[in-house]
Chains A and B, each alone.
Chain A
Amino acid sequence: MRILRWLAGSIVLGALAVLNFFVFDGPLLVKLINVSLFSALVVLYRVVRGPSPADRVIALDILGILIIGVLALLGLYYDQGFFMDIALIWALLSFVAALAFAKILEGRRLDD
């Protein structure tokens, strides 16, 4: 059963990689953005199904850091600098949100 699950996961990942890098016809940066967005989708699975609240908070924090990389690649692709402004603000808001969620999770209030 365990070997079957590993096999199914490997086949799905390999098929996605082949579809992305060999079948899909586009510039290389778009392919790299596709891989990063697939990583963000996997993180969203952990946000939806995480067994405990701490899992969801961790996944949201990680999602913020992943989106910074995606935005840097997008700015490199379109050759425009304002994407990094969006990335910096996203990083700041994600950090503050993670600290606030940690405080709530610990059972304290925000003005404590």
Chain B
Amino acid sequence: MIRHTIGMAFIWLGMLFNFFGVLGLLRLPDVYSRLQAATKCITFGSAGLLFGVFVLKGFTSFGFKVLLAIAFIFLTAPISAHAIARAAHRSRIPLCPESVVDLYEADHELKEEGRHASS
């Protein structure tokens, strides 16, 4: 009984995280802020939901597959998010007009200047 309660609590928590992450994906003004909201919220939300399913199912083959899926999500979601953000910045997709600083661009320019000075 208490296992059922804990598992359903984790599933509700993960589902709420998913829903608010999707709202952020819908409402935010910019590629990068959308990426930030969606990736963090939905990675943690799906991992919480899967952990709730693992608590409900226990140590069966279903449960071990769920643990494998959690490990896979935690390994791959930040990698793909980082790759997409870097590609978007390199293909000159602009930031939203309200943004004040772009440190990645400044860092890139500094690196280019250093390369020209050394060669």
Q: Which residues of A come within 8 Å of B, CB atoms?
A: 28, 32, 35-36, 39, 42-43, 45-46, 52-55, 57-59, 61-62, 65-66, 68-69, 72-73, 75-76, 81, 84-85, 87-88, 91-92, 95, 98-99, 101-103, 105-107
Contact = CB atoms under 8 A, between A and B. Distances in A.
Nearest to A55: B31
Given A65-B42, A76-B57, A84-B66, 4 more contacts: A58-B39, A62-B25, A66-B42, A68-B46
Nearest first, the 6 closest Cβ-Cβ pairs linking A and B are A84-B65, A54-B88, A98-B80, A102-B83, A106-B87, A102-B87
A32 B69 contact: no
A15 to B, nearest CB: 15
B110 interface: no
B77 interface: yes
B91 interface: yes
Interface residues of B, number: 48
Contacts of A65: 42-43, 46, 73, 77
Interface of B: 8, 11-12, 14-15, 18-19, 21-23, 25-26, 31, 34-35, 38-39, 42-43, 45-46, 49-50, 53, 56-57, 60-62, 65-66, 68-69, 72-73, 76-77, 79-81, 83-84, 86-88, 90-91, 93
Contacts of B25: 42-43, 46, 58-59, 62
Nearest to B50: A72
Nearest to A40: B22
A56 B54 CA distance: 31
Contacts of B19: 35, 39
A71 B63 CA distance: 13
B21 to A, nearest CB: 8
Nearest to B68: A88
Contacts of B86: 102, 106
Given A35-B15, A106-B87, A75 B81 contact: no
B53 A76 contact: yes
Nearest to B18: A39
B15 A107 contact: no
Contacts of A95: 76, 79-80
